[in-house]
Amino acid sequence: MSPGSVNGLKQRVFARPDAGFVYPMAAMSTLKFHILDGLPKSVSPSSHATEADGFVFLTGQLGRDLDDPAKPLPEGIRAQTERTLRNMRQVLDSLGLTMGQVLSVRVFLTHFKRDYDAMSEVYAGFFPEGARPTRTCVGVTDLVRDALVEIDCIAKR
């Protein structure tokens, strides 16, 4: 890594010796890795959220009961989507953020054709029309705990 300046901005340059490329990166504020009190440990080996330059990246949320994470997931896509988005809201709240600060959402569905419309109906209730974040929805072959849906997001302070 070597320091540099482009257009007056301090930059750090990261080299990938295996590919022979050099990537300039603007100087970044301190990275924060959030492991939040009062929430169960993530299912994966990850933080509940990470943060840099006011952008907050939440790990994927499932429809598990955060007060009793060992309980079975709710039945059906509507119930799992509702619980998943409530969990996302709770994590955001723990960070002093709201759903209104969410910029981008990714949704992963194990039964895309069957569940897309029902998931979208529940999802729409969490974001007001005219102020909805961008969204990508992807069909996947499987999710942890046999979940039907997983949702992650990026928010801005």
Pair 21, 12: CB distance under 8 Å: no
The angle subtended at Cα 63 by Cα 54 and Cα 141, nearest 5°, is 95
40 and 63 part of one domain: yes
Binning pLDDT at 50, 70 and 90, where does residue 30 land? confident
45 and 19 part of one domain: no
The domain that holds 140 is classified in CATH as 3.30.1330.40
19 and 35 part of one domain: no
22 and 43 part of one domain: no
Per cent of the chain over pLDDT 70 is: 82
36 and 12 part of one domain: no
CA–CA distances in Å: residue 8 to residues 5, 11, 22, 26: 6, 9, 19, 11
Binning pLDDT at 50, 70 and 90, where does residue 16 land? very low
18 and 93 part of one domain: no
Cα–Cα distance, 31 to 54 (Å, whole number):
10
Pair 90, 39: CB distance under 8 Å: yes
Q: Residue 147: give the domain boundaries.
A: 31-156
39 and 3 part of one domain: no
Q: For 125, which DSSP code?
A: T
71 and 110 part of one domain: yes
Residue in the structure block whose two tokens are 């959220």: 49
Residue 1 confidence (pLDDT): 42
73 and 1 part of one domain: no
Number of domains in the chain: 2
Residue 11 confidence (pLDDT): 45
Q: At 80, phi and psi to the nearest 5?
A: -70, -40
83 and 112 part of one domain: yes
Tell me how long the chain is: 157
Q: Mean per-residue pLDDT for 74-97?
A: 98
Pair 113, 143: CB distance under 8 Å: no
104 and 42 part of one domain: yes
In sequence order, what DSSP letters do the residues of 5-66 get, joined into one string? EETTEEEEEEEETTTTEEEEEE-----EEE--TTSPPPSSSS-SEEEETTEEEEEEE-S--T
67 and 89 part of one domain: yes
Binning pLDDT at 50, 70 and 90, where does residue 4 land? very low
Q: Mean per-residue pLDDT for 66-75?
A: 96
Residue 24 confidence (pLDDT): 57
